[in-house]
């Protein structure tokens, strides 16, 4: 399925990278917007993109991300700090920091589109569940069977936009004829007699005891004998559903719907079955609730997890950072931050390729996670850089933790690397309380500065901001 992508980016090098990326992936339809936010707004309305790629902070500053009806990837090519802060502040789904790699953009696009599809699926499931609950509630408000039957066909016709929708009763002793008990066109229409010789789809549903789905009545062999009759009516797709209760057809009733424009989708068929059997399928409601709960949990996990490493992403880290810093300030408890950066990681990518580099990042993240406390918060900051928040931990405790991780990393033998080749990590540490740390941003910036010094002084070092 082709996906539509809008690009709002003015940097020539970035545009060149994106064009090269999308030329290799023909399943994307890409449109580049050049004339500003008003043109972009029109393009979003017309193209209805699956994702928007926009520069940060410049491009994001011209938008209202909360009003953009599709996922956003922020491209940070120049000022990394401002770009990240702008992306976090705008609450965009994810961002990309230069240097840019096609594999990373590919994964992020796939993750965002999958997530968007999941949200749409959840929305449809919620609407379906609401329809089921509404129908059940309405049906229980009356003891009149005809009213119940009419409510069913009326609700289905509202949801599925069908040409016809009827509830049909079959006499168990004489299955040549049937009676229309209710039709959505008019609640007063009832007891219309049908000659089943003219309805092969109904006969098939009765004999097979299964739903009969006719995608194209003009081509389906089952409808060949009545093709001349249905052609003038413009009927294309037909659905017949036997209504069961404890393995028996209730009063030999069937739901028959038809439409002229397009075939029924799998979701519509599933919903139709559920609505037709609403009174006897309470378990189906429970199934939808469970499915909704599971997919919500999956969605929540997607929202806070880094796609590559499986640890927390930076957005979730920042949200937790605010909570932990407020708690530390209120109760005057220590709070430490460690920034970790894999030394010379570019050489690994250059020597082994980005795929192996991704394996190293993933394995490294999981090892660090394994050797940190449950109360600590580990996230991927960007590229090969990671960040660790240690609640109720003083500078002394953070130094001990960093030395322990440094020793663990030095001893790791990555199976993807050549014999005898390992990796080292540089550490930058900051801690609250500290006279310079006024807010959570200071805690991050000081750790970042200390990390920079560690790399500047030769790497594979642990430096705290307090020692600078």
Residue 156, domain CATH: 3.30.450.40
In terms of pLDDT, which residue wins out, 239 or 161? 239
The tens digit of pLDDT for each residue in 310-327 reads 899 999 999 899 999 999
Q: Which of 100, 70, 101 is nearest to 3 (CA)?
A: 70
Mean pLDDT of 419-431: 90
For 12-26, 54-68, 170-184, 385-399, which range has the lowest pLDDT when averaged over its residues?
A: 170-184
Please report which confidence band the pLDDT of residue 339 belongs to, taking 50, 70 and 90 as the band edges.
very high
For 27-31, 190-194, 354-358, 383-387, which range has the lowest pLDDT when averaged over its residues?
A: 190-194
* pLDDT score, position 284: 41
Residue 56 has pLDDT above 80, yes or no: yes
The tens digit of pLDDT for each residue in 362-417 reads 999 999 999 998 899 999 998 899 999 999 999 999 999 999 999 999 988 888 88
Same domain? 340 vs 285:
no
Same domain? 93 vs 128:
no
Is 384 an active-site residue? yes
In terms of pLDDT, which residue wins out, 133 or 445? 445
* pLDDT score, position 446: 94
With respect to residue 307, please indicate whether it lies within any of the assigned structural domains: no
Rounded Cα–Cα distance for residues 128 and 294 (Å): 16
Residue 375's domain is classified under what CATH number?
Answer: 3.30.70.270
Extract the tokens encoding 32.
């580049």
Residue ending a domain, among 245, 260, 291, is 291
Mean pLDDT of 243-263: 57
* pLDDT score, position 250: 46
Taking every pair of Cα atoms in the chain, the longest distance, rounded to a whole number of angstroms, is 95
Residue 61's domain is classified under what CATH number?
Answer: 3.40.50.2300
* pLDDT score, position 233: 76
* pLDDT score, position 257: 63
Same domain? 131 vs 272:
yes
Mean pLDDT of 322-343: 93
With respect to residue 188, please indicate whether it lies within any of the assigned structural domains: yes
With respect to residue 299, please indicate whether it lies within any of the assigned structural domains: no
Same domain? 157 vs 65:
no
Burial of 398 from C-beta contacts in 10 A (0-12 / 13-18 / 19+): buried
Mean pLDDT of 337-350: 92
The tens digit of pLDDT for each residue in 166-203 reads 877 776 666 788 777 777 777 776 777 888 888 888 88
Same domain? 206 vs 262:
yes
Same domain? 269 vs 320:
no
Where does 246-402 show beta strands of DSSP type E?
Answer: 248-259, 335-342, 377-382, 385-391
Mean pLDDT of 68-87: 85
Domain carrying residue 270: 120-291
Same domain? 160 vs 83:
no
Same domain? 167 vs 230:
yes
In which element (H, E) is residue 4 found?
strand 3-8
Under a CB-based contact definition with an 8 Å cutoff, are residues 98 and 35 in contact?
A: no
For 94-98, 229-233, 355-359, 411-415, which range has the lowest pLDDT when averaged over its residues?
A: 229-233
Residue for token digits 């950072």? 321
How far is Cα of residue 132 from the mean position of the Cα atoms in its chain? 24
With respect to residue 9, please indicate whether it lies within any of the assigned structural domains: yes
Same domain? 155 vs 287:
yes
Same domain? 248 vs 321:
no
**Stated pTM of the model:** 0.48
Instruction: Count structural domains, the chain.
Output: 3
Same domain? 179 vs 286:
yes
* pLDDT score, position 144: 61
Please report which confidence band the pLDDT of residue 290 belongs to, taking 50, 70 and 90 as the band edges.
low
* pLDDT score, position 252: 38
With respect to residue 321, please indicate whether it lies within any of the assigned structural domains: yes
With respect to residue 252, please indicate whether it lies within any of the assigned structural domains: yes
* pLDDT score, position 256: 60
Residue 448 has pLDDT above 90, yes or no: yes
Task: Please state, in angstroms and as integers, the Cα–Cα distance from residue 166 to each residue in 24, 203, 237, 444, following that order.
Answer: 51, 16, 15, 65
With respect to residue 406, please indicate whether it lies within any of the assigned structural domains: yes
With respect to residue 44, please indicate whether it lies within any of the assigned structural domains: yes
For 261-270, 405-414, 416-425, which range has the lowest pLDDT when averaged over its residues?
A: 261-270
Residue 135 has pLDDT above 90, yes or no: no
Q: Which of 104, 384, 385, 401 is catalytic?
A: 384
Same domain? 63 vs 167:
no
């Amino acid at each position: 399925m082709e996906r539509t992508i809008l690009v709002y980016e003015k940097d020539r090098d970035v545009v060149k990278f994106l064009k090269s990326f999308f030329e290799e992936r023909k399943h994307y339809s890409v449109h580049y917007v050049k004339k500003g936010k008003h043109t972009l707004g029109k393009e979003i309305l017309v193209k209805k993109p699956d994702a928007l790629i926009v520069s940060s902070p410049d491009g994001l500053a011209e938008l209202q991300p909360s009003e953009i009806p599709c996922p956003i990837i922020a491209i940070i090519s120049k000022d990394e700090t401002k770009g990240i802060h702008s992306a976090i502040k705008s609450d965009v789904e994810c961002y990309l920091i230069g240097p840019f790699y096609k594999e990373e953009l590919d994964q992020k696009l796939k993750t965002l589109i999958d997530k968007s599809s999941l949200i749409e699926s959840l929305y449809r499931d919620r609407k379906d569940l609401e329809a089921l609950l509404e129908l059940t509630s309405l049906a229980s408000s009356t003891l009149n069977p005809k009213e119940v039957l009419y409510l069913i066909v009326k609700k289905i016709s509202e949801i599925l936009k069908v040409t016809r929708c009827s509830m049909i009763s079959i006499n168990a002793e004489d299955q040549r004829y049937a009676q229309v008990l209710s039709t959505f066109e008019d609640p007063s229409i009832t007891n219309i007699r049908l000659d089943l010789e003219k309805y092969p789809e109904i006969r098939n549903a009765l004999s097979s005891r299964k739903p009969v789905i006719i995608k194209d009545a003009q081509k389906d062999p089952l409808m060949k004998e009545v093709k001349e009759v249905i052609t003038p009516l413009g009927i294309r797709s037909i659905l017949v559903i036997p209504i069961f209760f404890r393995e028996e057809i209730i009063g030999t009733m069937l739901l028959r719907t038809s439409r002229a424009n397009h075939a029924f989708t799998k979701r519509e068929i599933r919903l139709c079955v559920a609505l037709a059997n609403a009174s006897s399928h309470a378990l189906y409601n429970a199934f939808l609730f469970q499915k909704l709960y599971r997919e919500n949990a999956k969605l929540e996990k997607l929202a806070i997890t880094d796609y590559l490493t499986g640890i927390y992403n930076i957005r979730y880290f920042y949200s937790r950072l605010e909570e932990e810093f407020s708690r530390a300030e209120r109760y005057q408890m220590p709070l430490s931050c460690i920034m970790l950066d894999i030394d010379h990681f570019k050489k690994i990518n250059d020597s082994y390729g980005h795929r192996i580099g991704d394996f190293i990042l993933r394995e490294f993240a999981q090892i660090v996670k394994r050797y940190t406390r449950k109360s600590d918060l580990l996230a991927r900051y960007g590229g090969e850089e990671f960040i660790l928040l240690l609640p109720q931990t003083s500078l002394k405790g953070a130094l001990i933790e960093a030395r322990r991780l440094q020793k663990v990393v030095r001893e790791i033998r990555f199976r993807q690397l050549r014999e005898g080749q390992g990796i080292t990590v540089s550490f930058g540490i900051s801690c609250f309380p500290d006279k310079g740390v006024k807010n959570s941003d200071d805690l991050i910036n000081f750790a970042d500065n200390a990390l920079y010094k560690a790399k500047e002084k030769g790497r594979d070092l642990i430096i705290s901001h307090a020692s600078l």
